[in-house]
Structure 1
Amino acid sequence: MKNLTHNKIIKEIIENVRDDMQDEEIIHLVLEKPISSNKQEKETYGQKIADKIAHFGGSWHFIIIFTVLLISWMVFNHFIKDSIDPYPFILLNLILSCIAAIQAPIIMMSQNRQEQKDRQRNENDYKVNLKTEIIIQDLHNKLDLILEELEKINQE
């Protein structure tokens, strides 16, 4: 039954169980798991921090602040006589590498969590759409029955 399109699945379910089940039971059969909410999940402290770092790291505020700090570091160390990090800025490169090494996995953790949220949201949307389609199909069948009855009445 996995290889069937969801339209075929809906039609097959409606045709096969029409006599035995009512429409609500059909909907619950198709939607085995209830539609879930992301608010049910409790976020850990680490997840909250990862989300905040990823949010700040992907903002214009971060880019502007980071650019100002880099330029300040380079200007300060270039024009000061006994600077801690002269021209090739080896210490600055080390600091930037460490920041990138720490920031990248944190952002990836946040992206993975967002992907899980998106996957759950898509699954919920699919379930709602499927339920709506089943209800519309049922209404369409009822309307067809009504039209058939009207046609019979008009022929008499």
Structure 2
Amino acid sequence: MNGKTECQTCMVCKKSFPKKNLIPIGTIRKVITEEISKDFPQWSPGDFICQVDLTKYRMQYVQSILKSEQGEVTDLEYEVLNSMQQHELISKNIENKLDQNWTFGEKLADKIASFGGSWTFLICFAIFLALWILVNTVVMVKHPADPYPFILLNLMLSCLAAIQAPVIMMSQNRQEAKDRLRSQNDYQVNLKAELEIRHLHEKLDHLLMHQWDRLAKIQEIQLDLLAEMTKKK
């Protein structure tokens, strides 16, 4: 023996160890030194750390990575929800919007066209025709108000058809406007959904890249541990 064995103090536990059993902090991977800096921000590359404390910080780093992996999907979900909440919803009730913009005449035309295309109108109109013909042929035989061939009735029917046609056209124009607004709203909703899905895919790709990077760092730490175990053998 050439005298006393050279000893150094571990920066973490403050215990003295033979220098060969200590590791210079300057030779440790950056991710581990960043973990050590949380507790000892004043360290220098010439400081030493013992094997036990180095293993503790390595495990602490791995645990922090695993915890961040568990919570990152939840954070991703919150981020997507927040990005959606910051924008006004595109889907709207088109019916309420149209009811606020149409005039009284347009609404009346819509109701008349709706009634004119129903079974209620057909039944009422058939009853009216039957009563008109019955009154002018049976009840008022001697002095009918509209004798056969019911010219007055034909005139009334012609006037009704002439009035009903533009009313139906107005209702159709309003329905076309409704359909156009519905199609625009559907397009906007589909476009927003497509953008949100694309946004989500980009975030998932970003998450996968982070996972690969973290796995690579964990593997580097494992390789360091294996190398140290091999040296001890």
TM-score (norm 2): 0.48
Q: Please, which runs of 5 or more residues in structure 2 have no aligned partner?
A: 1-82, 220-233
The structure 2 residue matched to 1:131, chosen from 184, 192, 207, is 192
- Label 1:52 to 1:36 Cα distance change in 2 as closer, same or farther (>3 A): closer
Q: How many residues align?
A: 128
* Counterpart position of 1:44: 103
2:142 aligned with 1:56: no
Q: 2-side partners of 1:43 and 1:93: how far apart? A: 34
Matched to 2:212, the amino acid is E
Counterpart contact for 2:98–2:178, Cα < 8 Å: no
Kindly indicate whether the alpha-carbon contact (under 8 Å) linking 2:110 and 2:171 is maintained by their aligned counterparts in 1.
yes
- Per-residue deviation, 1:113: 0.9
Q: Which residue of the other structure, out of 198, 211, 226, is the alignment partner of 1:150?
A: 211
1:77 corresponding residue in structure 2: 136
**SS at structure 2 position matched to 1:67:** helix
Task: Give CA-to-partner distance per residue, 1:70-91, whole Å, 9 cap, x none.
Answer: 1111122122312122222222
Distance across 1 between alignment mates of 2:206 and 2:194 = 18
CA distance in 2 between partners of 1:42 and 1:137 (Å): 36
Asked if residue 121 in structure 1 is aligned to residue 201 in structure 2, the reply is no
* Shift of residue 133, structure 1, vs aligned partner: 0.8
Q: Deviations over 1:19-76 (max 9, x none)?
A: xxxx88xx99xxxxxx795258432221122122112212222111111001111122
Q: Within 1, Cα distance between the matches of 2:99 and 2:131? A: 46
Give the structure 1 partner of residue 150 of structure 2. Answer: 89
Instruction: Please identify runs of 4+ aligned residues in structure 1 that moved more than 4 A.
Output: none
Alpha-carbon distance, 1:94 to partner: 1.3
Aligned partner letter, 1:125: D
Of stretches 107-116 and 83-92 in structure 1, the one that deviates more from structure 2 is 83-92
Q: Distance in 1 between matches of 2:129 and 2:202?
A: 68
Letter in 1 for 2:202: N
Q: Select the residue among 101, 107, 110 that pairs with 2:162.
A: 101
C-alpha distance in structure 1 between counterparts of 2:118 and 2:126, whole Å: 13
Please tell me the residue identity of whatever aligns with 1:104. A
Q: Percent identity?
A: 52
Offset, 1:96: 0.6
Mark the CA change 1:59 to 1:40 in structure 2 (over 3 Å): closer, same or farther: closer
CA-atom RMSD, angstroms? 2.8
The one-letter code matched in structure 2 to 1:131 is K
Q: What amino acid does structure 2 have at the position aligned with 1:59?
A: S
Q: Does 1:110 align with 2:186?
A: no
Cα offset, 1:106, TM superposition: 0.6
Scaled by the length of structure 1, what TM-score is found? 0.70
Q: 1:39 to 1:92 in 2, by over 3 A?
A: closer
Distance in structure 2 (CA, Å) of the matches to 1:39 and 1:69: 35
